[in-house]
Structure 1
Amino acid sequence: MPRPVKQIQEIPIDLIRPGSQQARRSFDPDALAELAESIRESGVVQPVVLRTRVWGYELLAGERRWRAAQQAGLHEIPAVIRDDLSDAEAFVVGLIENLQRESLTPMETAAGLKRLGELFELTHEEIGARIGKSREYVSNYLRLLNLAPQVAVLVNEGHLHLGHAKALAGASVEEQLRWADEVIRHKLSVRQLERRLASARERRIVFKPGKPGDWRVLERELSDHLACPVTVQSDKGGKGELRVKFHSLDELDGLLARIGYAAR
């Protein structure tokens, strides 16, 4: 049975306040001014989504339109009232709209997806199903939460592309900062950065254990580095195998990111 159509109402702008769980935190002033000019000419085409509160209305979706309408000098804005939504459901409505409009910065997207997963205790795959995206989409964005704060700012400001950020997310903080500087100074493409990261890993000093205790040290250090259990076995001739254990596809995604693997 289809859901009933929500009635659109004209709500006074000064009675509306942004929701506390809004995923979006940054608004481009120039883009906002352009939207305000469009609203002056044509009005607000799509209504915002609100919930009733004792002090007025809480904005769930459409903050950019609300801000632009203020700039345009409007006193009222078309809105749909959704008092049927819980706090968690209200957050999802706002997040999905922003994702569909691609209006969030990369780090806002990552934080929003993390919050969604925490609210409903969802796996990466379940988060993707909830917002109409793939598991890989979710995992790639959540990796960005491993970025150093300075690098995250560069990503949000557009100095580093999402591909750069994904490649850097598995590196240490020191390496992230160094390679981020390299990308900006030399205008490296994502593929160039990936190749340089791979080359740097190959040049690292190879560990050459001798006694059984050395193997245990290596296993412990690799386990700490990869955040997954690691076992190493070798015969006297130097042949052997290295095994890395993971417990879920989400954990595998994190492991692949830490070793610098980028899916094609």
Structure 2
Amino acid sequence: MSNSVAPQIRVVPVDLIRPGSTQARRHFDAASLQELARSIGESGVVQPIVLRTRVWGYELLAGERRWRAAQLAGLHDIPAVLRDDLSEDEAFVLGLIENLQRESLSPIETAAGLKRLGETFELTHDQIGERIGKSREYVSNYLRLLNLEERVAALVNEGHILLGHAKVLAALPARDQLRFADEIVRHKLTVRQLERRVSQHRHPVPVFSPGKPGDWERLERQLSDLVGCPVAISHEKSGRGELRVSFHSLDELDGVLERLGYTANS
């Protein structure tokens, strides 16, 4: 990020501030906000928020929760660091990293933020991890959550389904996601219990008797659907043959292994 302009700390009227379009966070727990508002009412805002100047006032880059709580506490002004040196992309990265460090994003918000970071700078999962100080596995696990059906993603955002559950559900077709999400909520399943139920639900591929070429093609399609990657079968009249699964990245391989029930501790 550019450092050509030194950050300035100002006291800024709260009503001149508006959330920026780059903000990754979209959901704020009302009870948590009220608790922070009470703390701010007693001790003030300890850490400044981050803004940049606009014609109409100030755009909020980081610290939206503190800004909202300050308003609830009845404050008219709030301390802020001005970062008019940042580009749009740099402003987004700053806000995302702060939220990740504070663990203030929901799992889905984290996934969306990481996706945008990767697309904006054309980064691999490894490079995204380096940018935010996290592992490739951390990045890959969150990005898989973008495969969740919309109603399941909402349950994750609302805290009814935990991140561990969500990672298991993300590898399933939409209809199965909904079914198992309902079971998680109704029966309060642990992640391990969910994994067992999903494993029991997955039907083994039927015993296959060699037939017409179209039968082999149909089996390839079925296996491709099962593992989520292209599958090719070559065979001889003697019965010998080869089953080949193609993947284009380590992330796709991770997805195949998850669908097959393999874990690194196996």
Cα distance in 2 for residues equivalent to 1:42 and 1:164: 38
1:204 deviates by: 5.8
Q: Does 6-15 or 168-177 show the bigger shift?
A: 6-15
User: Helix, strand or coil for the counterpart of 2:35?
Assistant: helix
Change (3 A) 1:136 1:172: same
User: Helix, strand or coil for the counterpart of 1:213?
Assistant: helix
**Partner of residue 10, structure 1:** 11
Cα distance in 2 for residues equivalent to 1:262 and 1:112: 27
Q: Does 23-32 or 239-248 show the bigger shift?
A: 239-248
Is the Cα contact below 8 Å between 2:5 and 2:85 reproduced in 1?
A: no
Cα distance in 1 for residues equivalent to 2:83 and 2:30: 29
**Partner of residue 83, structure 1:** 84
Q: 1:22 corresponds to which letter in structure 2? A: Q
**Partner of residue 38, structure 1:** 39
Asked whether 1:98 is paired with 2:99, we answer: yes
Q: 1:38 corresponds to which letter in structure 2? A: S
The residue correspondences of 1:1-264 to structure 2 (distance < 5 A) are 6-202=7-203, 205-234=206-235, 240-264=241-265
Change (3 A) 1:250 1:85: same
Q: 1:251 corresponds to which letter in structure 2? A: E
Cα distance in 1 for residues equivalent to 2:28 and 2:202: 39
Cα distance in 1 for residues equivalent to 2:124 and 2:164: 23
User: Percent identical across equivalent pairs?
Assistant: 71
Q: Does 198-207 or 41-50 show the bigger shift?
A: 198-207
1:235 deviates by: 5.2
**TM-score, L = length of structure 1:** 0.91
How large is the Cα RMSD of the aligned pairs?
2.2
1:160 deviates by: 1.2
Cα distance in 2 for residues equivalent to 1:5 and 1:208: 73
5+ residue gaps, structure 1: none
User: Helix, strand or coil for the counterpart of 2:202?
Assistant: helix
Is the Cα contact below 8 Å between 1:123 and 1:250 reproduced in 2?
A: no
Is the Cα contact below 8 Å between 1:169 and 1:257 reproduced in 2?
A: no
User: Helix, strand or coil for the counterpart of 2:153?
Assistant: helix
Is the Cα contact below 8 Å between 1:170 and 1:259 reproduced in 2?
A: no
Q: 2:149 corresponds to which letter in structure 1? A: A
Q: How many pairs does the alignment contain?
A: 263
Is the Cα contact below 8 Å between 2:8 and 2:83 reproduced in 1?
A: no
Deviation readout 1:90-148 (Å, 9 max, x if unpaired) = 00111111111111111111111111111111111111111111111011011111111
1:209 deviates by: 4.0
Cα distance in 2 for residues equivalent to 1:206 and 1:66: 62
Cα distance in 2 for residues equivalent to 1:180 and 1:209: 38
User: Helix, strand or coil for the counterpart of 2:171?
Assistant: coil
1:199 deviates by: 1.9
1:255 deviates by: 2.9
1:4 deviates by: 8.3
Q: 1:189 corresponds to which letter in structure 2? A: T
Q: Does 124-133 or 204-213 show the bigger shift?
A: 204-213
Cα distance in 2 for residues equivalent to 1:32 and 1:86: 30
Cα distance in 2 for residues equivalent to 1:146 and 1:204: 24
Q: Does 233-242 or 152-161 show the bigger shift?
A: 233-242
Change (3 A) 1:207 1:98: farther
**TM-score, L = length of structure 2:** 0.91
Cα distance in 2 for residues equivalent to 1:204 and 1:219: 11
Q: 1:90 corresponds to which letter in structure 2? A: A
Q: 1:243 corresponds to which letter in structure 2? A: R
Q: 1:80 corresponds to which letter in structure 2? A: V
Change (3 A) 1:61 1:208: farther
Cα distance in 2 for residues equivalent to 1:237 and 1:218: 19
Q: 1:8 corresponds to which letter in structure 2? A: I
1:214 deviates by: 1.6
Q: Does 244-253 or 125-134 show the bigger shift?
A: 244-253
